[in-house]
Amino acid sequence: ACRRADKKFPGTSEEIGASIGAGLADAFPVLRARMKDPELLLGIDIREEGAFLYAGRHPGPGGLPVGTQGRALLLLSGGIDSPVAGWLAMKRGLRLHGAYFDSSPYTGPATRGKVEDLARVLAAWGQGMRLHVIPFAAVQEAIKERCAERYHTVLFRRAMLRIAERIAREEGCGALVTGENLGQVASQTLENLALIGEAARLPVLRPLITFDKQETIALAARIGTLELSNLPYPDGCTFFSPRHPVLQGRRRVAEEEEALLPLDELAAAAAAGRELLDIEGGAPRPSGGGR
């Protein structure tokens, strides 16, 4: 099989292929041509910088080159879903920045270390990643103290989107990416997803919206994030999860609860207090301890 990208090279692809085939037959009389299901298929790729020979193909991830469709900000947690959502966004040509909402002191350094390692795996698939580590505990404490418990998770997510949008606009990102999945947990009913998404004016992309959990797990194993995501380090949601979360949140109620908060001040302080980590691609470090 011959591909002649350099059209100045003499001969057609068919003529070059026939010539190489004849030369191989002369050099190796034991070889026999078989047009259907050959045991060995020699490929020739002729370019301006040289001719390249290959004897096999390995499928890549497909999609579009990273960066050709702009930038987006991934809300990255230590779970299984958000890294896979980020990888799928990169597959469609988006270059990612990451936003990790750090609930220290309710979470330890190992939790943050796990997220940094997940970002490193994603960075290896793309063009590196700038990870924004955002102090979020003060926002969670304010919501827990002042707002109805049933709405805590929805309000946390709405606050995350508001903060993420501030950062995304500063970084030139045209969308937010989350690992949300329809019906997977209480905050991800259709009504709650709509209510959460209304907190941001940028588009909210949810690549996993229709995935079964096993599909997500299989893809996480393929891209190299599953083992890290399964490390038993709790995230901030564990400490602030309501006992009976609302399943069909209403905008009016959410806005009434948010009116009890200095929301703009909290969001501005969280965005301003973030730490920036420029993460290069590469194999993740072993994640067995704190950082």
50 vs 91, residue with greater confidence: 91
- Strand runs labelled E in the chain: 2-4, 43-47, 50-54, 71-75, 95-102, 129-135, 176-177, 204-205, 275-279
In this model, does residue 152 exceed pLDDT 70? yes
What Rg value do the Cα atoms of the chain yield, rounded?
25
How confident is the prediction for the chain on average, in pLDDT? 90
Q: What is the pLDDT of residue 289?
A: 34
Q: List all residues 6 or more positions away from 248 whose beta carbon is below 8 Å from its beta carbon.
A: 189, 191, 192
With a cut of 50, say whether residue 286 has pLDDT above it: no
Q: What is the dihedral angle through the alpha carbons of 103, 107, 110, 116, rounded to the nearest 10 degrees? A: -10
Tell which phi-psi region holds residue 103, choosing left (phi > 0), alpha (psi between -120 and 50) or beta. Answer: alpha
pLDDT at 32: 81
Residue 235 has pLDDT above 80, yes or no: no
CB 267 within 8 A of CB 166: yes
Span 148-160, average pLDDT: 96
Q: Work out whether strand 43-47 and strand 50-54 pair parallel, antiparallel, or are unpaired.
A: antiparallel
User: What is the percent of the chain with per-residue pLDDT over 70, rounded to a whole number?
Assistant: 95
Confidence tier at 282 by pLDDT (50, 70, 90): low
For residue 236, what pLDDT is reported?
A: 64
State whether residue 45 is helix, strand or coil: strand
Give the amino acid at 257.
E
Structure tokens at 254: 């959410």
Q: Name the band, by pLDDT with cuts 50, 70 and 90, for residue 203.
A: very high
